[in-house]
Amino acid sequence: MALIAAGTAVLDRQICRPGWVQTAGDQIVACGAGAPPGPPDSDFPDGIVVPGFIDMHVHGGGGASYTDADQIAAAAQFHLRHGTTTTLASLVTAAPDTLLAGVRALADATRRGIVAGIHLEGPWLSQSRCGAHDAAQMRDPDPAEVDDVLAAGGGTIRMVTLAPERPGSDDAIRRFRDAGVVVAVGHTDATYEQTTQALALGATVGTHLCNAMPPLDHRAPGPVLALLQDPAVTVELIVDGVHLHPAAAGAVIRAAGPERVAAITDAIAAAGCADGAFQLGTVPVDVSSGVARVRGTSTIAGSTATMDRLFREVAAFGPDPDASLAGAVQMTSATPARALGFEGVGALRPGYAANLVVLDGDLRLTAVMARGDWR
């Protein structure tokens, strides 16, 4: 048993000052507003306790990459130190054999509890919106390959990003939905109509909205408007101040509401490292002033962000500090949990996993608890 008291605790959408959380083993057993029911084991009188972060789109960090079987644990450990207690590990576009090997390694890591599942970002993407992915390996979704990938994942593939204008994507969306996989629209040149068709077939997520898709045009509104206006869709936002102008991010958050916006890092191995040369899959990437770009181009190649930094960024939106704090909690935990169908995580609530982050008054991370253990 551990009793944690804090000057502020964000419990199940409510900001409590003060508040407390009681854990037993790897679970939260009680929590509430006001003084704790006994002498606390940990006391953070100036601290803010929030749910552990859920990153639904991340490729690596701390010099380690989720595409490399030997580096999965190190990447997860790096992001855990920055408050990510639930990770959907992303694989980039790759040749068929490489993709299957990557899926098998991450499926094993999922079964061992190192990550919470797999996000396939490609290979069924648009060459004209390839971003930092290897365009030469992009292909149409072939039913046999989809089945092979699903079999290799053994139920651990939680989300797939695809470009719905690719021939065969309608069938692929149905196949993934039938297998319980969340379908996301991204790295796409789809029209507004093609995107609404994908949503009608069951896609429910927009992958890093605004990035790797046509910009909103008032005569051809494209995927951005189709994704934003559908109340069933969750949109990912890389709120690092690089991928989106803060005013654009703020406008999306106001339009969709924090219940429909998931803050994601889209971090690559370079997160937490000094500037230098890195790889994203097979694509060489240079990081300068913390911004990753495909070598020799201006194309942004993922980020060097961590969830604790993104929490600070989104908590600074909006004029009302309490609403912004509640919104930041929502976008870094409850929204991604709901979008992915993860149960028992994403809030501080009895019966949920004892995953929490302690921030100081400047919203800097001071402690992380994952499954009941301080990390």
Beta-carbon contacts of residue 314 (< 8 Å; ≥ 6 apart): 239, 249, 253, 263, 324, 327, 328, 331, 332
* Residues 20, 9 contacting (CB under 8 angstroms): yes
The amino acid at 56: M
Q: Which of 360, 164, 339 is nearest to 263 (CA)?
A: 339
From the list 134, 189, 240, 266, the catalytic residue is 266
- Secondary structure of residue 291 in the 3-state scheme: strand
122: left (phi over 0), alpha (psi -120 to 50) or beta: left
Beta-carbon contacts of residue 70 (< 8 Å; ≥ 6 apart): none
Question: Residue 104 CA to chain centroid, in angstroms?
Answer: 21
Question: Which burial class, exposed, middle or buried, applies to 29 when counting CB atoms under 10 A from its CB (0-12, 13-18, 19+)?
Answer: middle
266 is catalytic: yes
* Residues 123, 135 contacting (CB under 8 angstroms): no
Q: What is the CA radius of gyration of the chain?
A: 20
Question: CA-to-CA distance for 148 and 102, rounded, in angstroms?
Answer: 13
Q: In the structure encoding, which two tokens stand for residue 123, read together?
A: 């290979």
Active site residues: 266
